Amino acid sequence: METTVESSNLRKTYDGKVEAVRGLSLQIEAGQCFGLLGPNGAGKTTTIEILEGLLAPTSGEVRIFGHTWNDNPRRLREWIGISLQETRLSEKLNVRETIELFASFYSEPRPAADILEELQLTEKADAWVGKLSGGQKQRLAVATALVGNPRILFLDEPTTGLDPQSRRQLWDIIRAFQQKGGTVLLTTHYMDEAERLCDRLAIVDHGVIIAEGTPSDLIDRLGGHQVVEFQVNKNEDRSDDNLDRWRSLPSVESVRREDSTVCLSVREPHLTIPALLGAVTEEGCQLKHLSTRQASLEDVFVRLTGRHLRED
Amino acid sequence: MTTTETNAPKLYADKNRPPPPIEPVRRNGRWSGYRHLLWARILELKREPEVVFWVFVFPLLLAAGLGIAFRNKPVGITSVVVIEGAGAEKTLSMLQSSAKSSPNKDSTIRATVLDRDTALKGFHFGKFDLAIELNSDGSYTYYYDPARPESVLSRVEIDAALQSAAGRKDALATSSQSSSEPGSRYIDFLIPGLLGMNLMNSGMWGVGFALVEMRQRKLLKRFVATPMRRSDFLLALTSSRLVLMVIEVGLLLGFGVLVFHMRVEGSILSVVLLGSFGAVTFGGVGLLTACRAQKIESVSALINLVMMPMWIFSGVFFSYERFPAIAHPFIKALPLTALNDALRATILEGASLGSQSGRLLVLAIWGGVSFVLALRWFRWT
């Protein structure tokens, strides 16, 4: 596979003080859906806007199809489609006029009717943009990105604030674009979105990539296959040496405590759980809650940073 | 930039054009972006009721209101009071007979007889232009107010009426021709001024306000994320002003001609060319005013700040000749002054554009310098 988007050691410092991006390198292969996953303020938007050529990095280099943004920016723009995190399109234009307007900027655009059909906006073609629902507005934003017939689609938090049905509609649209051979780069702070949509993920925190790989690889490597969560009654002291007690159980990879719940990342729960039950009795306390689940990207993130993705 | 060409992707033999996911079916020409931007702008303006009101209806209402309030009325009725006393009735009939034989059909004398106190009180309050008293020796005393033009006029008129009724013969034969020509009335002065002001208002708001709104909506940023040529965008925004300008000029001049029988001495082409000059100049000033502002509130304040001096000094509603002569060079350097002067000279006097190169130069400098500075400082995001 060939590289379509490439960045090396990107840095961005605002006003000489705030370091939004601190040495970020990535490579996106053709046909891939690449996700930047991270909490708000991690530097995702700054990164994607540098890649899109809308922000100049303080240092570092970006190449799109081997070209830098200094070469011939207009030609590069012909090949990429962008949806910004927040754009309020003109409310007094209708959907078709908006798509036609964006189509007119590209030398080889797709017919507006095809785009309307593909994004399920045909019924709304004559409606003013101001009258659209949130999901429809977001689909229109993606429509303006797709109408130029791009090779690469950049989407900054495309589904933030949307209802579950609208999110799923957008996922289908993104997958369809990818199936035609398009490359996608998206940012998100939704684990499920990253897990379902992305072939490859970079987890971003404080302006650097702290882990990269396919979603299942990341989970395998860092999250453990399974998570065992339990609570015990309160007569026991809660010092961290107690956590060591749980860590020494068979097949446990890591332990963390969230409020009164203890979470164990385990490889083989059928080995851990009997030992856990024994240990609980041995400690002279009672089990109040016990559950097991598949590990998720959330577990990966918490394991790496000690924080949750959405702490707000 | 140490990366060499060997690092470039190898998949695409033609590096200049990675294959699109879908085979293109049409190609856009060089000006397709510009045409669509212009059309979108016009559609948006048309769909904004406030724009239609402020740009088209408001100036007409203003012209109608001011035109009616300040219309030049004929001097008309002279209202006099004769102070009660011996011979008052005779004076009254002398005035009436004189009025009947007067060749001046426009002026009529309205005279009443009242007791002295009421008569003088009425005169002081402006109800009567003149008070007449017949003295015991047969002579007349006129009470008039030299500060009131109509009072001065009626003294002359009444004197002439009484003298001729008493048998005075005119030594010279005279005849008069009334001349109240369109071209020298207040409405004639007003309409070109309103036209200039309207071009300034709609240029500043139409370009400045629209830009900041788009910047605030991140629409400018979205546009520059496409291959759109930035110059096309600014050109479309400015030229949408030209389309509106033709309508503005047509409406206001048409209104003046139809309702107030105004006469346009210069050629329509010169007026439209002047209008374009003004529209583009103020489009440039609007661009500069809005080149960095991030918020609607801040650009509104800026636009008003820029326009305020011109509303006052540039001779929209009254001539700037009323300001001290020392201020005239500064006033004439303002773009609206230049535009108003040029519009008045062309519309009212039929002056050619060539004879107004100074004023056009003032406009060109304001517009050109604004454009250049605006482009240099412009903020797209």
The answer to whether residue A188 scores a pLDDT higher than 70 is yes
CA distances from A236 to A256, A259, A280 (A): 17, 14, 10
Position of tokens 């927040």? A86
User: What is the identity of the amino acid at A300?
Assistant: V
* Closest-approach residue (CA) in chain A for B213: A90
Q: Which residue in the set A77, A93, A104 is minimally distant from B43, CB to CB?
A: A93
What pLDDT is stored for residue B305 in this prediction? 94
* Closest-approach residue (CA) in chain A for B30: A107
> Which B residues 145-184 touch A at CB under 8 Å?
none
Contact B1 A68 (CB under 8 A): yes
What pLDDT is stored for residue B51 in this prediction? 79
pLDDT in tens, B103-149: 555 567 888 888 889 998 988 888 888 999 888 888 889 998 888 88
What pLDDT is stored for residue B7 in this prediction? 43
Under DSSP, is residue A33 helix (H, G, I), strand (E, B) or coil? Answer: strand
The answer to whether residue A1 scores a pLDDT higher than 70 is no
* Closest-approach residue (CA) in chain B for A85: B218
Under DSSP, is residue B161 helix (H, G, I), strand (E, B) or coil? Answer: helix
Confidence band for A155, pLDDT divided at 50, 70 and 90: very high
The whole-angstrom separation of Cα B339 and Cα B324 is 21
Contact B381 A54 (CB under 8 A): yes
Position of tokens 């979470």? A263
What pLDDT is stored for residue A22 in this prediction? 92
The whole-angstrom separation of Cα A146 and Cα A83 is 9
B110 CB within 8 Å of a chain A CB: no
What pLDDT is stored for residue A46 in this prediction? 94
* Closest-approach residue (CA) in chain B for A63: B8
- Reported as half-sphere exposure (CB side, CA atoms, 13 A), residue B323 has a value of 15
Average the pLDDT over each of A99-108, A141-150, B165-174, B255-264 and give the range with the smallest value: B165-174
The whole-angstrom separation of Cα B220 and Cα A303 is 40
The whole-angstrom separation of Cα B148 and Cα B169 is 29
The answer to whether residue B5 scores a pLDDT higher than 70 is no
Q: Which two tokens stand for residue A254?
A: 């890591």
> Which A residues 70-99 touch B at CB under 8 Å?
74-75, 77-79, 82, 84, 86-90, 92-93, 97
* Closest-approach residue (CA) in chain B for A53: B225
The whole-angstrom separation of Cα B241 and Cα B343 is 18
Contact A77 B217 (CB under 8 A): no
Give, to the nearest 10 degrees, the angle between helix A240-247 and helix A269-282: 130
Under DSSP, is residue B3 helix (H, G, I), strand (E, B) or coil? Answer: coil
Tell me which chain B residues have a C-beta less than 8 angstroms from the C-beta of A88: 217-219
Contact A65 B33 (CB under 8 A): no
The whole-angstrom separation of Cα A162 and Cα A159 is 5
What pLDDT is stored for residue B11 in this prediction? 40
Q: Which residue in the set A89, A97, A149 is minimally distant from B22, CB to CB?
A: A149
Averaged pLDDT, A76-87: 92
| Selected residue of A14, A74, A97, A104 to mutate for chain B interface (largest B Cβ count, 10 A) | A104
What pLDDT is stored for residue B178 in this prediction? 65
What pLDDT is stored for residue B91 in this prediction? 85
The whole-angstrom separation of Cα B367 and Cα B339 is 12
What pLDDT is stored for residue B13 in this prediction? 41
A177 CB within 8 Å of a chain B CB: yes
Averaged pLDDT, B238-249: 87
pLDDT in tens, B256-294: 899 888 888 889 899 999 999 999 999 999 999 999 999
Confidence band for B157, pLDDT divided at 50, 70 and 90: confident
The whole-angstrom separation of Cα B210 and Cα A143 is 24
Q: Which residue in the set B8, B10, B22 is minimally distant from A110, CB to CB?
A: B22
Q: Are A58 and A13 in contact (CB under 8 A)?
A: yes
Q: How many CB atoms lie within 10 A of CB A221?
A: 13
Please list, in sequence order, all residues whose beta carbon lies within 8 angstroms of the beta carbon of residue B255, skipping any fewer than 6 positions away: B60, B63, B64, B191
Query: What is the per-residue DSSP string for B14-52?
Result: STT-PPPSS-------TTHHHHHHHHHHHHHHHT-HHHI
pLDDT in tens, B58-105: 888 888 888 887 776 555 677 888 888 888 888 888 887 776 666 555
What pLDDT is stored for residue A27 in this prediction? 94
What pLDDT is stored for residue A87 in this prediction? 86
Q: Are A200 and A32 in contact (CB under 8 A)?
A: yes
Confidence band for B54, pLDDT divided at 50, 70 and 90: confident
- Strands of chain B (E only): list them: 77-83, 108-114, 130-134, 140-143
Q: Which residue in the set A65, A104, A182 is minimally distant from B36, CB to CB?
A: A104
The percent of residues in chain B predicted with pLDDT above 90, rounded, is 34
The CA-based dihedral angle spanning residues A211, A214, A217, A223, taken in that order and rounded to the nearest 10 degrees: 50
Tell me which chain B residues have a C-beta less than 8 angstroms from the C-beta of A108: 20, 24, 26-28
Higher pLDDT, A222 or B266: B266
Q: Are A214 and A34 in contact (CB under 8 A)?
A: no
Averaged pLDDT, A158-172: 91
The answer to whether residue B374 scores a pLDDT higher than 60 is yes
Q: Which residue in the set A87, A92, A182 is minimally distant from B218, CB to CB?
A: A87
What pLDDT is stored for residue B152 in this prediction? 87
Q: In terms of DSSP bridges, do strands B130-134 and A287-294 run parallel, antiparallel, or are they unpaired?
A: unpaired
Per-residue exposure over B301-322, b if at least 16 CB sit within 10 Å of its own CB, e if not: ebbeebbeebeebbbbbeebee
What pLDDT is stored for residue B235 in this prediction? 86
Confidence band for A299, pLDDT divided at 50, 70 and 90: confident
B9 CB within 8 Å of a chain A CB: yes
Q: Are A67 and A4 in contact (CB under 8 A)?
A: no
Higher pLDDT, B239 or A27: A27
The whole-angstrom separation of Cα B6 and Cα B133 is 113
Contact B222 A97 (CB under 8 A): no
Averaged pLDDT, B240-268: 88
Q: Which residue in the set B18, B43, B221 is minimally distant from A54, CB to CB?
A: B221
B5 CB within 8 Å of a chain A CB: yes
| Selected residue of B217, B221, B222, B228 to mutate for chain A interface (largest A Cβ count, 10 A) | B222
What pLDDT is stored for residue B53 in this prediction? 86
pLDDT in tens, B92-112: 888 877 766 665 555 678 888
Contact A100 B20 (CB under 8 A): no
3-state helix, strand, coil in chain A (%, to 5): 35, 30, 35
Tell me which chain B residues have a C-beta less than 8 angstroms from the C-beta of A97: 40, 43
Averaged pLDDT, A80-92: 92
The percent of residues in chain B predicted with pLDDT above 70, rounded, is 90
Contact A4 B48 (CB under 8 A): no
* Closest to B284 (Cα-Cα) out of B381, B218, B378: B378
The answer to whether residue B1 scores a pLDDT higher than 70 is no
Averaged pLDDT, B28-47: 92
Tell me which chain B residues have a C-beta less than 8 angstroms from the C-beta of A106: 28, 226-227
The percent of residues in chain A predicted with pLDDT above 70, rounded, is 95
The answer to whether residue A91 scores a pLDDT higher than 90 is yes
| Selected residue of B1, B15, B226 to mutate for chain A interface (largest A Cβ count, 10 A) | B226
Contact B12 A109 (CB under 8 A): no
B18 CB within 8 Å of a chain A CB: yes
- Reported as half-sphere exposure (CB side, CA atoms, 13 A), residue B362 has a value of 19
The whole-angstrom separation of Cα B101 and Cα B96 is 9
Tell me which chain A residues have a C-beta less than 8 angstroms from the C-beta of B228: 105
Q: Which residue in the set A30, A92, A111 is minimally distant from B48, CB to CB?
A: A92
Q: Which residue in the set B5, B222, B228 is minimally distant from A84, CB to CB?
A: B222
Confidence band for B10, pLDDT divided at 50, 70 and 90: very low
What pLDDT is stored for residue B6 in this prediction? 42
What pLDDT is stored for residue B125 in this prediction? 86
Query: What is the per-residue DSSP string for B180-246?
Result: --TTSSHHHHHHHHHHHHHHHHHHIIIIIIHHHHHHHTTHHHHHHTTT--HHHHHHHHHHHHHHHHH
The answer to whether residue B218 scores a pLDDT higher than 60 is yes
What pLDDT is stored for residue B182 in this prediction? 63
